[in-house]
Amino acid sequence: MSRRLPFAPLAAAIGLGLSLIAGSLVAPAAAHAEGEIRIAEQFGIVYLLLNVVRDQNLIEKHGKQQGIDIKVDWTQLSGGAAVNDALLSGSIDIAGAGVGPLLTIWDRTHGKQNVKAVASLGNFPYYLVSNNPRVKTIADFTEKDRIAVPAVGVSVQSRFLQYAAAKEWGDKEFNRLDKYTIALPHPDATAALIAGGTELSGHFSNPPFQDQALENPNVHVVLNTYDLLGPNSPTVLFATEKFRDENPKTYKAFVDALTEAAQFAQNDKGAAADTYIRVTKAKIDRAALLKIIDNPQYEFSVTPKNTYPLAEFLYRVGAIKNKPDSWKDYFFQDAKPLQGS
């Protein structure tokens, strides 16, 4: 007999997110001078470049090369909605989230705060996994199922699910599965899926959580985003135009730090694995983690890949109002412009 999913972890996660941004929602923080940067990350290996930046003090290093001392503040949130709210309220300067939240906030601030992406965090396949043996494809989900995503409707996982639904049933039915989704942080969703016995039967995940879930023989892959879109950059970092323009040295130090971190992670997977465990304190076996990130489909890179199909889709179905002509419309083009897609 199934039991209802306890929502205490979700409530706690929401409470944490709200507590982190509540003050700033009341009174937006004033712009600060060069030498300070506040970064929000989420959960998973897709944020490993930020783990490297933090572990090696790379922002501070590149700041000193420009003659400034930079104070770095790190915050962890769950879900693109919370991250977007934090950026717009002025409580963070750099937001880490999926391409879905990026396109939402880019559209919302177009011609105003002009939020755009700074860089990609790499290319990784995301899996929609399930512990329901009857669910072989997305068409098999019913009203009895619940699918965990970081943020309902806005997270990149939600957008991937909508993209898949449109391919299955047509653009008019793109949000057909939204009513089955619930917001839950990846660690809690993974634990619930492995334990079973709740109405949570699906989780649109990311590494390493999807890999940990698949160690359970009752869990299987329903959808692979590489099959849906090809190799792509699902997670990015973004900022307001104001922060970029008013803090050029701090901004450049951040970009240079991220570029160095990408080279480090891509060229030394063992050291990258050690960094992830050390910084996140994740309870994961090193060998298992190394096996995950040594996957040839994984690429640690600041260059965005194949993001535009999702942007074009969101405009086509009316999820965003402004149509980007290319990926360059929602990525800042710096002195060394990214060669992306």
Q: 71-76 and 235-239 as β-strands: parallel, antiparallel, unpaired?
A: unpaired
User: How is the beta sheet containing 127-130 ordered, strand by strand?
Assistant: 181-183, 146-149, 200-204, 127-130, 220-224
Task: Please tell me what DSSP assigns to residue 326.
Answer: S
Q: Residues 175-198: what's their mean pLDDT?
A: 94
Length of the chain (residues): 341
Give the other-Cβ count within 10 Å of 226's Cβ: 15
pLDDT of 251 above 90: yes
The tokens describing 138, both together, are 């997305």
| The pLDDT of residue 163 is above 90 | yes
The lowest-confidence range among 39-48, 101-110, 213-222, 312-321 is 39-48
pLDDT at residue 43, rounded to an integer: 86
Both tokens assigned to 58? 């790379």
Bridge partners of 40, per DSSP, are 75, 95
Cβ-based burial of 289 (10 A; exposed 0-12, middle 13-18, buried ≥19): buried
The least confident of 9-13, 42-46, 254-258, 304-308 is 9-13
Instruction: Give the SS3 label for residue 299.
Output: strand
Residue 265's nearest CA partner among 50, 64, 31, 92 is 50
Chain centroid, CA 55 distance in Å: 20
CA atoms within 13 A on the CB side of 212: 24
Predicted confidence band of residue 26 (pLDDT cuts 50, 70, 90):
very low
pLDDT in tens, 126-155: 999 999 999 999 999 999 999 999 889 889
Encode 184-212: b = buried (16+ Cβ within 10 Å), e = exposed: bbbbbbbbbbbeeeeebbbbbbbbbbbbb
Place of tokens 């991220």: 258
**Percent of the chain surpassing pLDDT 70:** 89
Beta strands in the chain (DSSP E): 36-41, 71-76, 94-98, 116-120, 127-130, 146-149, 181-183, 200-204, 220-224, 235-239
pLDDT, average across residues 254-281 = 95
Spell out the domains of the chain, with CATH numbers in brackets. 10-124+233-329 (3.40.190.10), 125-229 (3.40.190.10)
- CB distance 88 to 109 below 8 Å: yes
